[in-house]
Amino acid sequence: MRITLIDGSLGGAGGNTAAVIAPLLEALRARAAVETLHLAADARPLAALEPLLAASDGFVFATGTYWDSWGSPLQAFLERATGLEASPVWLGKPAAVVVTMHSVGGKAVLSRLQGVLSTLGLLLPPMSGLAYSYAGHLALERAAHADFWQRDDLAVVAHNLLEAARGGRDWRAWPVDGGDPHRRWL
Ligand X SMILES: Cc1cc2nc3c(=O)[nH]c(=O)nc-3n(C[C@H](O)[C@H](O)[C@H](O)COP(=O)(O)O)c2cc1C
The residue among 148 and 171 lying less far from ligand X, judged by its C-beta, is 148
Q: Please identify which residue in 29, 54, 55, 68 interacts with ligand X, judged by CB under 6 A.
A: 68
Q: Please identify which residue in 9, 56, 128, 160 interacts with ligand X, judged by CB under 6 A.
A: 9
Amino acid identity, residue 51? P
Using the rule CB under 6 A, is 16 a contact of ligand X?
yes
How far apart are alpha carbons 103 and 74 in whole angstroms?
20
Least Å distance, CB 23 to ligand X, is 15
Least Å distance, CB 12 to ligand X, is 7
CB 153 within 8 Å of CB 145: no
Q: Please identify which residue in 5, 6, 8, 15 interacts with ligand X, judged by CB under 6 A.
A: 15
How far apart are alpha carbons 13 and 36 in whole angstroms?
9
- DSSP per-residue codes, 57-89: SEEEEEE--BTTB--HHHHHHHHHGGGGTTSTT
Q: Is 130 helix (H, G, I), strand (E, B) or coil?
A: strand
Least Å distance, CB 115 to ligand X, is 19
Binding-site string for ligand X from residue 88 to residue 117, where x marks contact by CB under 6 A and - marks none: ------------xxxxxx------------
Using the rule CB under 6 A, is 11 a contact of ligand X?
yes
Using the rule CB under 6 A, is 150 a contact of ligand X?
no
Least Å distance, CB 57 to ligand X, is 25
- Helix intervals (H) in the chain: 16-29, 46-55, 72-80, 106-120, 134-142, 154-165
- 149: Cβ contacts below 8 Å, ≥ 6 apart: 130, 131, 132, 136, 174
The residue among 11 and 175 lying less far from ligand X, judged by its C-beta, is 11
The residue among 114 and 133 lying less far from ligand X, judged by its C-beta, is 133
Using the rule CB under 6 A, is 148 a contact of ligand X?
no
